[in-house]
């Protein structure tokens, strides 16, 4: 059996491994919001699963998305993941 050593073959191999062995969730490119530079579906799925009570206290999700996008741009994703974000007296 031969191995596909093309770039597409390598991508498929990596994707298959991540999805089937590491609980990686493969996103849909149509869910990506260019205005916020985020996948809103995956973001809110994660927040609902991990911080539903806090998320329920935040009424305007579009403003939250803008805040998250601004913080990523200003501080970087690593800093945001380490320290979280404060929005309307809530910490995510």
What is the structure's pLDDT at 60?
Answer: 81
Confidence of residue 21 (pLDDT cuts 50, 70, 90): very high
- Please give the sequence-ordered ranges of beta strands (E in DSSP) within the chain, or none if there are none: 32-33, 38-39, 86-87, 90-91
* pLDDT beyond 80 at 91: yes
pLDDT in tens, 73-90: 999 999 999 999 988 888
Mean pLDDT of 12-25: 92
* pLDDT beyond 80 at 25: yes
Cα–Cα dist 54/64, whole Å: 12
* pLDDT beyond 70 at 1: no
Cβ-in-10-Å burial (0-12, 13-18, 19+) of 41 comes to middle
pLDDT in tens, 28-79: 999 999 999 899 999 999 999 999 999 999 888 889 999 999 999 999 999 9
């Amino acid at each position: 059996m031969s191995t596909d050593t093309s770039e597409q073959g390598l991508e498929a191999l990596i994707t298959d491994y991540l999805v089937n062995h590491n609980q990686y969730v493969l996103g849909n490119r149509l869910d990506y919001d260019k205005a916020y530079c985020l996948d809103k579906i995956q973001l809110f799925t994660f927040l609902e699963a991990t911080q539903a009570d806090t998320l329920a206290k935040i009424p305007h999700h579009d403003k939250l998305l803008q805040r998250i996008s601004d913080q990523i741009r200003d501080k970087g994703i690593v800093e945001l993941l380490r320290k979280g974000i404060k929005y309307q007296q809530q910490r995510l």
